[in-house]
């Protein structure tokens, strides 16, 4: 059992006990609704055929079509995808959007593929999961190492099989083929909205708040810019190859320009070198883990010095670490709340595609803020009322809503 799947089950079990979930529903929730494992043969540029393994998991469809990203990574595993699908179920429910949870992945190092190989692999993977996906069934989106171009290929592959354009089959695609304004930075923007809400809860001000961000990709990179522009002091960032630290603050624009050339933030001249592990233990006020799962564990949780953690990644904190942090008085805004901006604007995109009526970026951002602020307030209120962690409160709300949908629908046949 992988740590991600074990963590997801531990969280479910704790929340189930907290809300006194019906044992039968608890058993249903511990098992994904359906799992698809596919073989993806791809003709490489040198005429070899290489076979990759892909997955698509539906955890729950009780509240609507399945929703979840597709990630390309050499360490993708079925257990990881199952965990991510479960978290998507709770994430969609906690922000109140009518989706169930899904996730997909291909075990591949995409950076070693040419553009043609990447497209052929994506289209073959899309063809293999075709029976699972559709605007009313399952709506994929970008995740780690996937982007709007890959979503366009999936949309086109699906559309070619249908015989007409179906923009609503994926979200996170280019605006030119039905994508939404504001989708690209939505996860990062949601992280910042949650951070601002948490600061108000803790009585902290933006001025002088030092931020460390693990992960300088789609989520962490744009989040760094948003925090910087809002007046925070971004003191450290990192990526898979290493990190940089400057107590006086870093310029995210300059960092991104450097990364575009060096393919990493490591070695940025106006800062000291640090490792990913050291970043998590820095003396800072706000820590944003925005890379991989299982980064803060029982091995390092007692050395975390941030007062507030806002999770940009899925599952970055292990259940054991979560309890250690709580005992130390460190507030953690959980992933299913903090990074739900992406799926929220994905929902907005899906709605726009179905209506063929599109919103401005300002409209998208205003509506996103309303959802994030309202959801944070619901979670905070329950946490304070019951004297529990924000994570347990968020899980209780999400799981409770899914349970209600199951009860109302009944068990077929």
Q: What is the DSSP letter of 180?
A: P
Taking the CA atoms of the chain, what radius of gyration do you get in angstroms? 20
SS3 21: coil
Q: Which residue among the candidates 103, 173, 218, 259 is catalytic per the annotation?
A: 103
Q: How far apart are CA 256 and CA 338, in angstroms?
A: 23
Query: By CB neighbour count within 10 A (0-12 exposed, 13-18 middle, 19+ buried), where does 9 fall?
Result: middle
- Of the candidates 300, 298, 279, the one whose C-alpha atom is nearest the C-alpha of residue 290 is 279
Give the phi and the psi of residue 104 in degrees, each rounded to 5.
-140, 165
Q: How far apart are CA 271 and CA 245, in angstroms?
A: 5
Burial annotation 231-241 (CB, 10 A radius, 16+ → b, else e): ebbbbbbbbee
Q: Which H helix or E strand runs over 353?
A: helix 341-355
* Residue 103 a catalytic site member: yes
Distant-in-sequence, close-in-space partners of 220: CB < 8 Å, separation ≥ 6: 188, 213, 214, 237, 239, 288, 290, 291, 312
Enzyme catalytic residues: 103
């Amino acid at each position: 059992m992988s740590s991600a799947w074990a963590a997801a089950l531990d969280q479910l079990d704790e929340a189930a006990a907290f809300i006194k979930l019906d044992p039968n529903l608890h058993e249903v929730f511990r098992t994904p609704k359906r799992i698809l494992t596919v073989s993806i043969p791809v003709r490489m540029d040198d005429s070899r055929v290489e076979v990759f393994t892909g997955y698509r998991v539906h955890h729950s469809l009780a509240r609507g079509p399945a929703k979840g990203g597709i990630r390309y990574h050499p360490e993708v595993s079925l257990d990881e995808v199952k965990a991510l699908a479960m978290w998507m179920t709770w994430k969609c429910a906690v922000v109140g959007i009518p989706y169930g949870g899904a996730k997909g992945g291909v075990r591949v190092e995409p950076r070693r593929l040419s553009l043609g190989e990447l497209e052929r692999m994506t289209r073959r993977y899309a063809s293999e999961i075709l029976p699972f996906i559709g605007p009313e069934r399952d709506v994929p989106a970008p995740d780690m190492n996937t982007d709007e171009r890959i979503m366009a290929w999936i949309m086109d592959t699906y559309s070619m099989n249908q015989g007409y354009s179906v923009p609503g089959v994926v979200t996170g695609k280019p605006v030119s083929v039905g994508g939404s304004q504001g989708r690209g930075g939505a996860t990062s923007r949601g992280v910042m909205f949650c951070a601002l809400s948490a600061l108000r809860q803790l009585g902290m001000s933006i001025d002088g708040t030092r931020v460390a961000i693990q992960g300088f990709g789609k989520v962490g990179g744009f989040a760094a810019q948003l925090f910087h522009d809002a007046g925070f002091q971004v003191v450290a960032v990192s990526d898979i190859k290493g990190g940089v630290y400057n107590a006086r603050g870093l310029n995210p624009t300059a960092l991104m320009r450097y990364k575009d050339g060096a393919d990493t933030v490591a070695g940025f001249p106006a800062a000291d070198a640090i490792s990913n592990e050291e970043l998590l233990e820095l003396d800072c006020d706000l820590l944003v883990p925005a890379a991989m799962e299982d980064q803060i564990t029982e091995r390092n949780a007692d050395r975390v010095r941030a007062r507030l953690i806002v999770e940009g990644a899925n599952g970055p904190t292990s259940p054991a670490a979560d309890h250690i942090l709580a005992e130390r008085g460190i507030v953690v805004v959980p992933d299913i709340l903090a990074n739900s901006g992406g799926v929220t604007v994905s929902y907005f995109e899906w709605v726009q595609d179905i209506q063929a009526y599109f919103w401005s970026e300002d409209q998208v951002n205003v509506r996103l803020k309303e959802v994030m602020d309202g959801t944070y307030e619901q979670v905070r209120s329950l946490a304070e009322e019951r004297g529990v962690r924000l994570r347990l409160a968020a899980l209780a709300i999400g799981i409770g809503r899914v349970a209600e949908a199951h009860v109302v629908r009944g068990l077929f046949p």
